[in-house]
Chain A
Amino acid sequence: GAVVSQHPSWVICKSGTSVKIECRSLDFQATTMFWYRQFPKQSLMLMATSNEGSKATYEQGVEKDKFLINHASLTLSTLTVTSAHPEDSSFYICSARAGQGSHEQYFGPGTRLTVT
């Protein structure tokens, strides 16, 4: 089946630093990738949608200058949390869709970010 990986699986960083999270589709080409944020015991909040080779579309209320998304290839998207603060601590999950004809999304295992 379709496999999506994320790296790192967990990261601890100091307040004010930046953290990059990678999302890779391992056995398919992902024309569209999604980044979600999940708070404890809550649903997934879509942060942004990225299509390969174009700028990401951010959801309302998500700061695009703080959460930088790059989808440089059909198998890789990155999320960079810039100038991280403790309130950015969360579980970040990426997902990928194979193409317009594909309906379901395949999710990565998530990245636990803790900002101290």
Chain B
Amino acid sequence: AQSVAQPEDQVNVAEGNPLTVKCTYSVSGNPYLFWYVQYPNRGLQFLLKYITGDNLVKGSYGFEAEFNKSQTSFHLKKPSALVSDSALYFCAVRDNSGGYQKVTFGTGTKLQVIP
């Protein structure tokens, strides 16, 4: 079974400060990892993914995430937060071992960037 944990329901950060949204995962094989962002009453927008290769993945809107296999983490980061980054962020994992597996989403972390 695969699972994703987002330990923080909400993260508050001042505009201009760096932000981190935490995510840890559990899979039996090797993971495919994703971050999505959701604005109110909207669907999810893809931010970035880790499939293989470089542990530091760069995505949309200046976001990046670092895959850490030993800590089974995939934290989302941005060097300087914008008020417009305020939204709900979902981490997701898919086990890539053998055939298609469904994607499991975390419970989401609400990011509030304070002006």
- Report if A and B associate in a common complex: yes
Q: Mark B79-115, 1 if CB is under 8 A from A, else 0.
A: 0000000000010001000001011011110000000
Given A100-B100, A104-B34, check contact A43 B43 (CB 8 Å).
no
Q: State whether A43 touches B105 (Cβ < 8 A).
A: yes
Cross-chain pair count, CB within 8 angstroms = 47
In the complex, A54 has a CB within 8 A of chain B:
no
- Bound CA span A110–B36, Å: 15
Judge whether A11 is part of the interface by a CB distance below 8 angstroms.
no
Residue in B closest to A111 when the chains form the complex, CB atoms: B43
Q: What size tier do the contact residues of chain A reach?
A: 20 to 34
A4 touches B43 (CB 8 A): yes
For residue A103, give the distance in angstroms from its CB to the closest CB of chain B: 6
Instruction: Return B109 CB to nearest CB of chain A, in Å.
Output: 11
SS class of chain A's interface: helix, strand, loop or mixed? Answer: strand
Whether a CB of chain B sits under 8 angstroms from the CB of A106 is: yes
Interface bin, chain B: 20 to 34
B-facing residues in A58-86 (Cβ within 8 Å):
none
From A32, A46, A103, A110, contact of B43 by CB (8 A): A110
Q: A93-B43, A100-B100 are in contact. Are A107 and B32 (CB under 8 A)?
A: no
Q: Mark B45-67, 1 if CB is under 8 A from A, else 0.
A: 11001010000000000000000
Q: How far is the CA of A49 from the CA of B103 in the complex (A)?
A: 11
Find B90's partner among A41, A44, A104, A108 (CB 8 Å cutoff).
Answer: A44
Contacts of A93 in B (CB 8 A): 43-44
| In the complex, chain A residues whose CB is within 8 Å of the CB of B105 | 43-44
Determine whether B41 belongs to the interface, using a CB cutoff of 8 Å to chain A.
Answer: yes
5 A-B pairs with the lowest CB-CB distances in the bound complex, closest first: A107-B43, A107-B44, A109-B43, A43-B107, A110-B43
